[in-house]
């Protein structure tokens, strides 16, 4: 018997790796000093741990440790990057470019700035969710101060042409912010090679604790200047004041160390499992489509649409498997995913989409269990669907001209 429940929602969050937990443990009760208390050994010990963690993150991102700013998570990092740059450079220009499939933690700060008089360009994506670099180049204007494009999408795993975007932004003298929350620790992210100026990440997406994040802020070529959102003691180069969360930071550092060492092997393992999941589902079921770019995609993420069934019904049928229909942040609402909509997927098909997020605990046995269970759920649910009946007869339900019943006609 397979152990349940099975966790396939690693894009929403990951468990803390036990090695990360062990690294954090001493920093709650024993080494509890304030990292800003440099006058005594308690503070110095805390600071040494924070410095070590800064190095571990910097090694993963290929930057200088002094370019790492600790935050409470990627939502905060995105807010500091976008609003901080807008405030600092608002007198030079007020145009910001982003794209339709960003996370709300980028879109909402951008919208707030728009309401405050900044101009926003929201780039379209192709049907696989990728932005077109030529369209981006055409959108850059003399008053453009920031381009914010994510590394990989949280719903589909689609990876953007980050290196080309970084190069373009540097050629045109525009700052480039990249929300790399879903990518860091899963695929190689190199801020030097990718020419990123500001980068957001969150520890809980890479087997670290919740409530800790990082904003990478480039110091050279160019030196990025931004206004702080949270002011106080001047911590973190004055960009983000507040006493540091030492245990969380230690956990973030250790999570980055482990990711750096194990990422390549783990990515290959998860790619094989993810491909097995998709191939088996496609082989055993009709009317299934993969959403996202199958060439440029996170190794552990799959988003599939199951026509003629509701995603919610599938999730109810697979009640011992943790899955997500669309983004975890918006799955409580009935709005179809803005990401899938931007890719041209109809609201009906978007509602029949499921995200599978594999991770360190995922086994082949679990994948095979999910494929079996999903296949029988689909068979059962589709048996009840008149639209599916039409579809197997070769009639596309979207093209049917429905005749009203006598009752409907009378009450028109």
Ligand X SMILES: Cc1ncc(COP(=O)(O)O)c(C=O)c1O
Closest distance to ligand X from the beta carbon of 169 (Å) = 19
Binders in 204-223 for ligand X, by CB under 6 A: 213
99 binding ligand X? (CB under 6 A): no
245 binding ligand X? (CB under 6 A): no
181 binding ligand X? (CB under 6 A): yes
103 binding ligand X? (CB under 6 A): yes
Report the residue closest to ligand X, judged by CB.
73
281 binding ligand X? (CB under 6 A): no
Closest distance to ligand X from the beta carbon of 12 (Å) = 6
- Cα separation of 237 and 230, whole Å? 12
202 binding ligand X? (CB under 6 A): yes
Query: Judged by CB under 6 A, which stretch of 50-58, 174-182, 377-385, 394-402 contacts ligand X?
Result: 174-182
353 binding ligand X? (CB under 6 A): no
Binding-residue pattern over the window 41 to 80 for ligand X, x denoting contact by CB under 6 A: --------------------------------xxx-----
Query: Judged by CB under 6 A, which stretch of 136-144, 178-186, 238-246, 255-263 contacts ligand X?
Result: 178-186
Report the residue number, 186 or 382, with the smaller CB distance to ligand X: 186
Closest distance to ligand X from the beta carbon of 211 (Å) = 8
182 binding ligand X? (CB under 6 A): yes
- Exactly one of 96, 105, 229, 374 binds ligand X (CB under 6 A); which one? 105
29 is catalytic: no
Report the residue number, 26 or 211, with the smaller CB distance to ligand X: 211
Active-site residues, by number, are: 329
Give contact residues for ligand X (rule: CB under 6 A): 73-75, 103, 105, 150, 154, 179, 181-182, 202, 213, 329
């Amino acid at each position: 018997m397979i152990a349940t429940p099975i966790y396939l929602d690693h894009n929403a969050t990951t468990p803390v790796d036990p090695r990360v937990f062990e690294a954090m443990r001493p920093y709650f009760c024993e080494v509890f000093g304030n990292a800003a208390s440099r006058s005594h050994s308690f503070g110095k010990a805390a600071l040494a741990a924070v410095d070590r963690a800064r190095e571990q993150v910097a090694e993963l991102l290929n930057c200088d440790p002094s370019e790492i700013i600790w935050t409470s998570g990627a939502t905060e990092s995105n807010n500091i990057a976008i609003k901080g740059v807008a405030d600092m450079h608002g007198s030079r220009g007020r145009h910001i470019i982003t794209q339709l499939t960003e996370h709300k933690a980028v879109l909402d700060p951008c919208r707030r700035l728009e309401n405050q008089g900044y101009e926003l360009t929201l780039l379209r994506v192709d049907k696989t969710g990728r932005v077109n670099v030529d369209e981006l180049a055409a959108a850059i204007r003399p008053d453009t101060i920031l381009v914010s494009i994510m590394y990989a999408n949280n719903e589909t795993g689609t990876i953007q042409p980050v290196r080309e975007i970084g190069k373009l932004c540097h050629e045109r003298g525009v700052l480039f912010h990249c929300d790399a929350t879903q990518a860091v620790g899963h695929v190689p992210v190199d801020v030097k090679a990718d020419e990123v100026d500001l980068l957001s990440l969150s520890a809980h997406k890479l087997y670290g604790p919740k409530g800790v994040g990082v904003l990478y802020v480039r110091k050279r070529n160019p030196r990025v200047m931004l206004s702080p959102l949270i002011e106080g003691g001047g911590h973190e180069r004055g960009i983000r004041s507040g006493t540091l969360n030492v245990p969380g930071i230690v956990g973030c550092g250790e999570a980055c160390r482990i990711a750096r060492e194990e990422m390549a092997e783990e990515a290959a393992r998860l790619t094989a499992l993810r491909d097995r999941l998709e191939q088996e589902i496609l082989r055993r079921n009709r009317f299934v489509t993969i959403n996202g770019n199958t060439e440029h995609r996170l190794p552990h993420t799959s988003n599939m649409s199951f026509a003629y069934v509701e995603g919610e019904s599938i999730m109810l049928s697979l009640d011992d498997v943790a899955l997500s229909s669309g983004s975890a942040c918006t799955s409580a609402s009935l709005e179809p995913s803005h990401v899938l909509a931007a890719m041209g997927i109809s609201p009906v098909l978007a509602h029949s989409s499921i995200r599978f997020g594999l991770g360190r605990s995922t086994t082949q046995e679990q994948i095979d269990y999910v494929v079996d269970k999903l296949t029988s759920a689909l068979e059962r649910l589709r048996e009840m669907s008149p639209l599916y009946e039409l579809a197997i007869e070769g009639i596309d339900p979207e093209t049917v001209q429905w005749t009203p019943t006598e009752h409907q006609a009378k009450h028109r």
